[in-house]
Structure 1
Amino acid sequence: MSQIDPGTPTWLRAHNDRTAFRLLLEHGPLTRAQLGALSGMSKPTAAQMLARLERVELIRPVGEVSAGRGPNAVSYGVRDDRITGVAVSMLADAIHAVVVDATDAEHPIAEIRLDDGGRTPEADVRRAVEAACVAAGVDEATVSNVVVGVQAAVNVAGDTLSLTDTLPGWPATGSRARIEEQLGLTAVLENDVNLAAMAERAAGSAADAATSVLFWIGHGLGVALDFGGTVHRGAAGGAGEVGYLSVPRGAGAIEPDADDLTALLGGRAVARLLGATAGQGLADVLDRLDGDEAALDAVADRVVVALEPVLAIVDPDLVVLGGPTGSAGGAPLARRVAARIDRQSHPDLTVLPSATGDQPVLLGARRLLVERIRDLLEADINPAA
């Protein structure tokens, strides 16, 4: 878009129209009078802003509001069919995907079961986009962006992935490029725990923390480091991959055969603590954790062992316990972990359970997509045209 000189009538129109667009996003459908009151503009100016936004197809009439004695007033809302995206969470045996639009409306989550046959980055994402659009009743042609959460270390600059045990068929280099070239979409690949941390900052337990650590406890382990709202990924995207750390010598009494932290606290270890029998996995027994005092104590002991190196290096204000096990343990587990923390070294550390629901990875991906879609739409505001 061409440069608009500040202070000129054209610049002022652009500024006003962007203000109106953001107010419509924030408040939902508005009438001319409502927009004028919120923006501080006169009704004629508000009407002009609405007319310009409608002309570039960013908004449309969506209803009428009773105006008392006079005719009903038309309300205008942001169009949700111009540009959409799809948020994707790649799991070990399934894909979860959901359509995202500029209004951040709720859409059904599609689940696609996976096997290892014929998988590639572009094939997996194509299936996710198709299923999400069918579930939401959205035209696939409107999808321009995808954000994909993966259980891997992601080097954005080099378009490389490592620790890709759950991504058969995905190459170490070039997965994002293949998605973009084959599907014609703009793609972002991001570590799933980092996306969950973004959700925790936006709408969960970490909203007010200066520095927070999200400790993801599920089949595997992961840590996301949030420094003032910025997730620290590391030079090659591997920051927080604590599951591969060796078990400290002092933890031998807890799990003598564990050689790394995943063996100490990952899905198999927690399932055993909860009495899983042959053929049962973590998901089959995790609902037993709530109310099982002995299991909660045992999990808390292991969480503290796994957290010690992270706390020694980062010294955060807050630790959030997330992932399937962290969420299942909830506040009782968080209280136990807090009670076991070395308070001489971390006197003010707070430990809380995750507050982002059962799809934190999709929620984080949605937040990125909403911002991207709104930026793309706002770029169409050019009153000089």
Structure 2
Amino acid sequence: MSPDLLFVLLAGVLGLLVGSFSNVLIWRLPRGENVAFPPSHCPHCAHRLAPRDLVPLGSWLSLGGKCRYCRAPIHSRYPLVELLTALGYAAIAALFPFTAFGAGTLGLMLLFTLLLVASVIDLDTSTIPDELTLPGVALGLAFAGLHSATVGETGLPTFGQALQGALLGAGLLVTIDLLGSWVLRRFRERQYPEQPIGYQQLSLALLAGAWLGPWWGLGAALLSAAGNVAARRVVRVPERLTLSGFLLSLLLGSAGFGPGLILMVQGALTAAGAAALVAGVYWWLRRTPEAEEDTPFDPSAMGFGDVKLAAVIGAFLGWERLLVAVVVAVFAGAVLGLAQLALRRENRVKFGPYLALGAVAALLWGGELVAAYRGLLGL
């Protein structure tokens, strides 16, 4: 048996085990529970599960999908997650052999798990936990650093490309959110700006980054946040100035003013993405479930969890495949939305699963799609 085939089989077994743990994350993270303690137990009768109750796929099948102790039904999602993870890991091992991709193969398996867990939680709760996305960005950058030496052979991003992908991923989606939310508010100012850093600072980073570059744009956002801290209140940054200024900047850039349209877009999105991740880390460390329930909010075009999930995808796959993932996600969402509209059903599927689907498509075919696009442009 060849080493690559052996690794495919081992990857499938590993996927079953990781899938079992993924079910723990799916159940406990949205409830704010510790993922290690207490040990696995039935959610209905709270009876601690024995090792024979925790065999991936096998326990559910042998018990007929019911708890051994109280006979309550066990959701079919549990074996489905385990099976999907096993198949996903085996497919990644086959398409990205460990002998050629090294640590990159393990990184892609981790990405698959993050996407699957985030999607199921998003479907259940309309949220994507920071405990998945923010450490996921750091892990994506770490894996990029590990396999950077073989990037010419693997096509996976270097650390610099992964960092750019994470920032542009977050920046692209947060810009869509900023402009979409502004339209939803009928171009009115936010009623509930965050203190000390939030969407107003991200809008400022977007405008400043377009003209001054990404790091000056991030600096402008942090300076505004520092002003809020010093004043002990929200010092408003009017969005009719920042967002309309950003749109005007794009018009001027397309007409040849300033650094040019491409550099302005790149600087703006990178600055907004960097500020979004800083804000995400801040609120992850500071916000409590009680505070989230009591905090009023303005209408939003997109959940902030989607912004951070896009950063995860960019960190693992790089900015080019990130763009492929977003295009596929938007197209898939539009198709399903129209189908449900035709059936007169409300589209309740959140954008996170679409992003995950787009990331899988980008992983499998992103390289070919990017190469074909470059060929059309003669690059």
Is the structural similarity TM-score above 0.5? no
Structure possessing the higher relative contact order (Cα contacts under 8 Å, 6 or more residues apart): 2
Pick the structure with more helix per residue: 2
TM-score normalized by structure 1?
0.24
